[in-house]
Structure 1
Amino acid sequence: MELPASFVDYTRSLLGEEEYEKLAVALQQEPPVSIRFNNEKWKVQDEGLSAVHSPFDRVPWSSEGVYLDERLTFTFDPLFHAGCFYVQEASSMFVEQALRQYIKEPAIMLDLCAAPGGKSTHARSVLPEGSLLVANEVIRNRSQVLAENLAKWGHPDVVVTNNDPADFSALPSFFDVILTDVPCSGEGMFRKDPVAIEEWTPENVEICWQRQRRIIADIWPCLKPGGILIYSTCTFNTKEDEENVRWIQQEFGAELLPLEVREEWNITGNLLKDESTGTVHLEGIPVYHFFPHKTKGEGFFLAVLRKPCIETDDNETKKAWETINSQKSVISKSTIARAAKKKGKHAGKGVPSVAKELMDVAQSWVRDIGNYSLLTDAETVYAFPNARLEELEALRQNLKVIQSGVSVGEVKGRDLVPAHALALCPVLLRDGAFVVEDISYEQAIAYLRKEAIVLPAAVARGFVLLTYRGVPLGFVKNIGNRANNLYPQEWRIRSGYLPEELRIL
């Protein structure tokens, strides 16, 4: 790989000759492969690792992350499609430390720049029970990928939005935690993404740090007083990292918070030189750099900041909370079901109601139904936690919500067809709600290609939940001579062949 000359000069000056040469060597090596298990679907205790083909090295700063010896054929692994694990770069799993060390109570969290969903699925796994995650992506097609990955991960207390950061200004002091994994120059991804090298220029770095500040300025009012901002990039330079953190401190009075880290993790601290002396002060400034020649992962940077706590008699704070409270209406199941409105040419027309008989069917599919409300959006029935209905209503009133909770079923004529997301949500799917049939690897791949499946004659007709190695994979409707495949068309495996050498968990 040929690195841009300007990058080489700047980074050598930043790190020093010896450290830069070590980094340059590391950037020529193959990047490590890491995944993160979904503990709701596949426990990662030591005794559970015997279920897979080889032992793993753990990602030390993540409770569920592991390194693989080689890259697997993930596309052809049914467990990947079932949401049992997520392929995520190891360094970025460090976000877990910020959440575990500072978020101890149920929280409302925003992942502002969330696609494709690695940090969102990770956050949802480690947030305290009762928390709500809002995962946002400004680019429409990427927001659909984000929604798919979160649906596969299988948590009901998630909302996916498709908004510009400025749109969140309608929700002042709404979030307890905001993760801003801001768009950056991508220096830390050079060995994984050749396009990042081609696009890197000093001018692009300048554009990036200014864009990053605009994003923070737009979203800062949405953070509650005393709330936590997690700022991260996948780049090395101090313009996008330390200098932006210093700007957040100076501009908004934020407090920079330390994290407890172990020496053997080989995380690098502050690299910003003192302007008066030209020296680097590594101590006392808690920011965290991951360099691939020192840590087993790609380039990553993270800092944790706390918004100042403002006294309750502060007029601005009072006004903010009055705005939020005015948006929160008294909500019941029937109120929300009737309140949903179609947009565009159907604006102002009520959403068709779902027959009570079908709502009763949906209730019979849901575990602990008393903790959830069944809401309707067009002809979809979805479940959302009762405890977060007010927050959902505020989000729906002010943002473009593309997915909330878990889809339970879709009305097709006189039937309610179980939604694929329900199969992938172990917290929600009631045991015994459907006939279950465990299928072979070959059948699983055929199912994921949305091909017809033939089940044993003894399997009852009707909706059947298919499992692979005991893990729910999705639904079919068994009509006897074949089973109609209900796997989402847009999620199907498009490749018509199997690799000569399969490497799966």
Structure 2
Amino acid sequence: MFPTAFVAQMQGQLGTTEYEDFLNAFALPIPVSVRRNSLKLKNLEENYDGVKWNKEGVYLPDRPIFTLDPRLHGGAYYVQEASSMLLWAVLEQTVDLAAPLKVLDLAAAPGGKSTLLVAALSAESLLISNEVIKTRYQILRENLGKWGYPNVVCTNQDSREFAPLQGQFDLVLLDAPCSGEGLFRKDPTAMKEWSPEHVQFCAARQRRILAEASPLLKPGGILIYCTCTYNDFENALNVEWSQDNLDLVPLSLTFPSEWGIQAREFGYQCYPHRVKGEGFFITAFRQEKKHPLLKASPAKGFWKIGNRKNTPGLETWLDPGFSYLALESPHGELAALPKACESFFMELSPSLRRWDPILELGTFKHQDFIPAPTLALSTVVHPKLPNQSLDLSTALKYLRKDVFELTDVPNGWSLVNFENINLGWIKSIKGRINNYYPKEWRIRMATPNAPNPEPKSSPD
């Protein structure tokens, strides 16, 4: 079943007896796990087994057709492989989650670990979620927009382009592109693409990104490095290399023995025969070198502080308790960041080629405001805006951008929700309902018996 070289690698790593346990795990059903968005969903379901290392994670008894659950599209939960949720437990041991932090997720798509990060951070923290590949960047923005936290911005650039921000971040996450050995059970394609040569290619690329990530940390800042693979070249040997070549010191972590996490010489490993999850490796470092900190300066990037006369009208669209900094693009698009993140914006924006606040608000067309889709899905949208509850059938019609009817809808803009989870905007004009769900987000599955199109190859 496995490539011969992979078998030899794992037998050497586990020993003959434990390798048999590892092999037997591939005959077991693949665990299905999701992580709840606590700002949108109080309870996912009762009596589900919880993920031991993440209080918001649960295992489902079987894999539903997620595409046909409107709650997923409303950002009420994220479908995430359980082992990768171990990130939460690492954060709790390495950073002060109550403090205002500047955080960078360097290789973030499709967004699972970024949604976990922002859920763990304080509301005064700022997360920069980056993805270098343009198509994956769009998926990242969609997923973070649906998750709904306002203290996130997205960037689309190579890790080397962050060099002007040396010494700026309290925390950097590098979920490194890897050979994907930990996904063999879920995705046979990953196995077909595996080779010893590809492992070496990935390991070299990971060292390059590690070298670019390390200087971005403040003195004492934390770098978390993880992969969804098993081999030492991409894991332990890269950690060892970092000790010899970078100013990073590996940190000792502690996990309860019943979790089944295996401590290795450098880092911590999840195996599918030890945990209810897939293959995953994680470790944390502290930066010891002192880099000069950049001084705050006026923002000169794509987004600038909003100065148009009708910007105060935004207050009717946002939660009164949300104190925000209004931003404006050269094209007149409006966005917002929490006011608490203003100083971070001033410090970082001049050194970034382009960044996009995840909380896009909309645009003015003459005197009319056209709200953005992400505003509807935000956790800070005004709670007293008109809001129409949809049943399952109508919610799916909405998400497909099909025609549907509602009664007693006031003229103008309204939110629509399913089970109190906002899905998006409609506009009623003399009883006619216009569906403003983004066409690029619409679902195309027509029947419950259709194949499940959910991504199979990502640990997120």
TM bucket (normalised to shorter chain) is over 0.9
8 Å CA contact 1:363, 1:369 repeated in 2? no
Which residue of 2 is the match for residue 163 of structure 1? 157
- Matched residue of 1:197: which SS? helix
Question: C-alpha distance in 2, partners of 1:80/1:63?
Answer: 19
Offset of 1:251 from its aligned partner? 1.6
Within the alignment, does 1:308 sit opposite 2:302 as a pair? no
Within the alignment, does 1:137 sit opposite 2:137 as a pair? no
Which residue of 1 is the match for residue 439 of structure 2? 489
Question: C-alpha distance in 2, partners of 1:17/1:286?
Answer: 22
Q: After superposition, give the CA deviation of every residue in 1:178-197 in whole Å (9 maximum; x if it has no partner).
A: 11110111111001111110
| RMSD (Å), alpha carbons | 2.1
Superposition map of 1:218-257 within 5 A: 218-257=212-251
Question: C-alpha distance in 1, partners of 2:254/2:77?
Answer: 26
2:409 pairs with 451, 456, 459, which one?
Answer: 459
Larger radius of gyration: 1
- Matched residue of 2:154: which SS? strand
Question: C-alpha distance in 2, partners of 1:438/1:258?
Answer: 49
8 Å CA contact 2:106, 2:130 repeated in 1? yes
Question: C-alpha distance in 1, partners of 2:366/2:27?
Answer: 58
Within the alignment, does 1:374 sit opposite 2:374 as a pair? no
Which residue of 2 is the match for residue 190 of structure 1? 184
Which residue of 2 is the match for residue 471 of structure 1? 421
Within the alignment, does 1:205 sit opposite 2:199 as a pair? yes
Offset of 1:402 from its aligned partner? 4.4
8 Å CA contact 2:32, 2:62 repeated in 1? yes
Question: C-alpha distance in 2, partners of 1:363/1:244?
Answer: 49
Question: C-alpha distance in 2, partners of 1:465/1:183?
Answer: 38
Question: C-alpha distance in 1, partners of 2:23/2:156?
Answer: 38
- Matched residue of 2:89: which SS? helix
Superposition map of 1:77-476 within 5 A: 77-104=69-96, 105-270=99-264, 285=265, 287-308=267-288, 310=290, 317=291, 320-321=292-293, 324-325=294-295, 328-330=296-298, 356-357=309-310, 359-368=311-320, 371-377=323-329, 378-426=331-379, 428-432=380-384, 434-456=385-407, 458-476=408-426
Which residue of 2 is the match for residue 37 of structure 1? 36
Offset of 1:419 from its aligned partner? 1.4
8 Å CA contact 2:144, 2:358 repeated in 1? no
Question: C-alpha distance in 2, partners of 1:119/1:411?
Answer: 34
TM-score (norm 1): 0.85
- Matched residue of 2:262: which SS? coil
8 Å CA contact 1:109, 1:133 repeated in 2? yes
Offset of 1:394 from its aligned partner? 4.2
Question: C-alpha distance in 1, partners of 2:451/2:11?
Answer: 42
Question: C-alpha distance in 1, partners of 2:322/2:6?
Answer: 57
Within the alignment, does 1:499 sit opposite 2:442 as a pair? no
Q: After superposition, give the CA deviation of every residue in 1:275-310 in whole Å (9 maximum; x if it has no partner).
A: xxxxxxxxxx46210000111000000011101154
Structure-2 change in CA distance of 1:216 and 1:388 (3 Å): same
Question: C-alpha distance in 2, partners of 1:250/1:193?
Answer: 35
Within the alignment, does 1:22 sit opposite 2:21 as a pair? yes
Structure-2 change in CA distance of 1:116 and 1:453 (3 Å): same
TM-score (norm 2): 0.93
Which residue of 2 is the match for residue 348 of structure 1? none
Offset of 1:429 from its aligned partner? 1.2
Offset of 1:252 from its aligned partner? 2.0
What is the letter of the counterpart of residue 445 of structure 1?
L
Which residue of 2 is the match for residue 333 of structure 1? none
What is the letter of the counterpart of residue 362 of structure 1?
L
Question: C-alpha distance in 1, partners of 2:307/2:429?
Answer: 25
Question: C-alpha distance in 2, partners of 1:5/1:29?
Answer: 22
Structure-2 change in CA distance of 1:81 and 1:169 (3 Å): same
* Alignment coverage as a number of residue pairs: 449
What is the letter of the counterpart of residue 306 of structure 1?
R
What is the letter of the counterpart of residue 49 of structure 2?
D
- Matched residue of 2:381: which SS? coil
What is the letter of the counterpart of residue 39 of structure 2?
E
Structure-2 change in CA distance of 1:181 and 1:341 (3 Å): closer
Structure-2 change in CA distance of 1:205 and 1:340 (3 Å): closer
Q: After superposition, give the CA deviation of every residue in 1:239-298 in whole Å (9 maximum; x if it has no partner).
A: 11111111112222422212221110111121xxxxxxxxxxxxxx46210000111000
Offset of 1:55 from its aligned partner? 2.1
Mark the runs of 5 or more structure 2 residues left unpaired by the alignment.
453-460
Question: C-alpha distance in 1, partners of 2:339/2:358?
Answer: 11
Structure-2 change in CA distance of 1:498 and 1:27 (3 Å): closer
Question: C-alpha distance in 2, partners of 1:151/1:126?
Answer: 17
1:67 pairs with 52, 59, 65, which one?
Answer: 59
Question: C-alpha distance in 1, partners of 2:354/2:346?
Answer: 10
- Matched residue of 2:149: which SS? coil
Structure-2 change in CA distance of 1:206 and 1:117 (3 Å): same
What is the letter of the counterpart of residue 297 of structure 2?
S
8 Å CA contact 1:385, 1:405 repeated in 2? no
Question: C-alpha distance in 2, partners of 1:398/1:58?
Answer: 42
What is the letter of the counterpart of residue 329 of structure 1?
S
Question: C-alpha distance in 2, partners of 1:384/1:390?
Answer: 11
Structure-2 change in CA distance of 1:151 and 1:501 (3 Å): closer
What is the letter of the counterpart of residue 167 of structure 1?
E
Q: After superposition, give the CA deviation of every residue in 1:352-397 in whole Å (9 maximum; x if it has no partner).
A: x88523x232122112467211111123211112222233244433
What is the letter of the counterpart of residue 25 of structure 1?
N
Question: C-alpha distance in 2, partners of 1:78/1:36?
Answer: 15
Question: C-alpha distance in 2, partners of 1:445/1:401?
Answer: 35
Which residue of 1 is the match for residue 7 of structure 2? 8
Structure-2 change in CA distance of 1:166 and 1:216 (3 Å): same
Mark the runs of 5 or more structure 1 residues left unpaired by the alignment.
271-284, 311-316, 331-335, 343-350
Moved more, 150-159 or 255-264: 255-264
8 Å CA contact 2:411, 2:427 repeated in 1? yes
